[in-house]
A and B are shown apart, each in its own frame.
Chain A
């Protein structure tokens, strides 16, 4: 029945969209606090995906297990990058910061190309072809696990920013940089921590995404753009906005793939971006004064 097809595609898009949302959450956290646009975001995502693929191929570990060590590795990577490279550029003009991260992105994507080659790699999990029947819906097990993990990681992140000392301190930096300095917060360390947390989000999202999609180095730049589209749609700096944007874009892509051709799906994501930028530049859940 046609209506079932639409429902199934929509649910598939929703589940993938939650993983997109987690990826975008990383970008949003970094931009919201450090005010640096991480143009190497998608490349960090593919690093995580390759780590998951390698861990699965060589050690037989499931991405849902390696998710935690991969996040930890990406955290270290992000922390080190902020400390060693980006810190000196915080006060530089926007386009200089941008170019710096473009250079990082170029290096990362091509190092991946050298190591792994251009061919697609994937994780053949034991449940890759399992599915659950819920009424008229057939839910792909891998997508469902990935989406649940994305929700869990996001919940941890929300709790961290709301309830812990460090989380509150980071929010203080984002709210008022000078104020944070005045009350004696170590802003540079908190910035590095934030970049690390953002990278850890990407790490978790990447590990889960390896369950859903084959990874190639070319996916990096595409994901960078996708993360931007999602974050701007949802509202830069808004954490629920990133998740909402992810779901919206995920479902749009899925629907566009069904109604038109899958190769045109990114056009619809960009069309949504253009509409949002024009009529609600701060994003769906963004604050207007941003």
Chain B
């Protein structure tokens, strides 16, 4: 297991990772709350990107509805907390099976009936949209008016109930993102990971070799949706408010997958780099547009879209494979 953890990672890459980890651990010592909040966003997107990458990057199933699992995780944990006083660490144990089950249902329906490619992508959107409209009319969790967690000014950090200052959330999401990276590496180098890649490259051939494609595609869906739901739990307790129109929106699903796309689909470091680039870009354009007095709705997204277009046209494989080559860390596109 330990050996597998470092399999295929070049030595200089390992050194860079160690430096990165040390810097990230030490950041709260000298950074202000704004910077911490930006880092939280980056790590959040890195985490979800990593979870999504398992379905689309490793297994080749284009999911465009991952906001569904974020939302399910968020609503489940938030409802347990608000209605029954159950904390997020216990709530998590409910969120994971709920999201995993929905992922399994979607996967079962799609793979049993041979729904693939574009059709699969549309089915994932349909599920998320269905949830969006459904939660709009789900009174028990606030309906379209939104669902709120009690908020107060916290001077102490309560890690058990996740009530506290940004620094605490920072370390929680840092731990999650690190765990996701490790899990992805382990999965990728395991038997399951090789089966996934075989299915992605050529499903009929993989089947001919005796791989149970249905089972492994289901496994990818369940692992990915369960992992994504944890991000939802974090989201609920960090933002303290949930609106179906925002949480389950197709734009949210797209936002979640932009990072890995920019970074490099199917690579391990791509989702992380993509999250850094996109969140950084978004913060910089905000500042820039505000300074120019051009802070009108839509301006930021247009710049966003243009950058996305440029990256897709110039580097269709993503930024990370290109940088990795440049700095001599060629991560084999797995």
Contacts and interface: CB of A to CB of B under 8 A. Distances in A.
A263 B133 contact: yes
Contacts of A258: none
Q: Is the interface of A mostly helix, strand, loop or mixed?
A: helix
B130 A271 contact: yes
Contact of B302 (A110, A228, A232): A110
B299 interface: yes
A277 B130 contact: no
B251 interface: yes
Interface string B105-116: 000011001110
A113 B254 contact: no
A192 B116 CA distance: 27
Interface in B283-334: 296-299, 301-302, 304-306, 308-309, 312-313, 316
A98 B113 contact: no
A103 B312 contact: yes
B254 A102 contact: yes
A110 B126 contact: no
Given A37-B118, A263-B133, A273-B122, A107 B250 contact: no
Which of B62, B126, B137, B301 has the most C-beta atoms of chain A within 10 angstroms of its own C-beta?
A: B126
Contact of B130 (A88, A103, A274, A279): A274
B117 interface: yes
A94 B62 contact: yes
Contacts of A274: 109, 123, 126-127, 130
Given A92-B316, A96-B312, A225 B113 contact: no
Interface residues of A, number: 44
A281 B119 contact: yes
B250 A225 contact: yes
B62 A111 contact: no
B305 A103 contact: yes
A264 B137 contact: yes
Contacts of A107: 302, 305-306, 309
Nearest to B300: A110
Contact of A94 (B118, B127, B312, B316): B118
23 contacts: A92-B316, A95-B56, A95-B265, A98-B64, A100-B309, A100-B312, A103-B308, A104-B305, A106-B254, A106-B304, A106-B305, A106-B308, A112-B298, A114-B296, A228-B122, A229-B122, A232-B119, A261-B137, A266-B129, A270-B126, A273-B122, A274-B130, A277-B122
Interface of B: 56, 62, 64, 109-110, 113-115, 117-119, 121-123, 125-127, 129-130, 133-134, 136-137, 144, 250-251, 254, 261, 265, 296-299, 301-302, 304-306, 308-309, 312-313, 316
Interface of A: 37, 85, 88-89, 92, 94-96, 98-100, 102-107, 109-114, 117-118, 217, 221, 225, 228-229, 232, 261, 263-264, 266-267, 270-271, 273-274, 277-279, 281
